[in-house]
Structure 1
Amino acid sequence: MSKQAAVRLPDDTYDRLHALAARTGRTATFYIRQAIEEHLEDLEDLYLAEKSLTSHRASGVKPLSLGDLDRELGLDN
């Protein structure tokens, strides 16, 4: 099953999308769906990373430098 969503696009983006669809014989919907599916995971990762960073900063725990981490893990050969 699929759901429908309405999206407002700037005129130039809309025109580019429909020109691409016309040139390739695909629908604009195909390209919208493809763009969302390809970038959704990146957006999810970005927001999770930002949330984790904010939480870490609020914790007051001092971050380790890469050199300190290497020494702590015994990788400073």
Structure 2
Amino acid sequence: MNKRVTIEIPDDLYRVISRYGDLHGLDPDDYATMALQRHLEDLQDIAAAEAAMKGIQSGEDRVVSSKEFWHGMDD
């Protein structure tokens, strides 16, 4: 089930959302939803990358070369 969220945005931001929505064949609501979803996915990717970097920096994880990674895979 979908939920409705109402927000107030500046006129210039609404015009940008409407313009890009038109370019993609979407109404402003659908384009804003898509943009928000993409932004949240980007934040999740950033959090995963930061967690991976923390593991490498702490020594919990390590980086291997491609040669080391593929070694023995073709056996």
Q: TM-score interval w.r.t. the shorter chain?
A: 0.5 to 0.7
> What is the TM-score when the length of structure 2 is the normalising length?
0.55
Shift >4 Å, 4+ stretches: 7-10, 20-25
Partners in 2 of 1:59 and 1:65 — Cα distance?
16
Partners in 2 of 1:67 and 1:34 — Cα distance?
39
Letter in 2 for 1:51: A
Once the two structures are overlaid, the 10-residue window that deviates more, 52-61 or 17-26, is 17-26
> What is the TM-score when the length of structure 1 is the normalising length?
0.54
CA deviations over 1:9-30 (Å, ceiling 9, x no partner) = 693x43222345578582x222
2:34 matches 1:34: yes
Instruction: Tell me what 1:67 maps to.
Output: 67
Query: Considering only CA atoms, is the larger Rg found in Structure 1 or Structure 2?
Result: 1
Q: Is the 8 A contact 1:67 1:76 kept in 2?
A: no
The share of aligned pairs that are identical, in percent, is 19
1:51 to 1:15, Cα distance in 2 relative to 1, 3 A:
same
Letter in 2 for 1:75: M
Partners in 1 of 2:26 and 2:63 — Cα distance?
52
Letter in 2 for 1:44: Q
Structure 2: stretches of 5+ with no match in the other structure: none
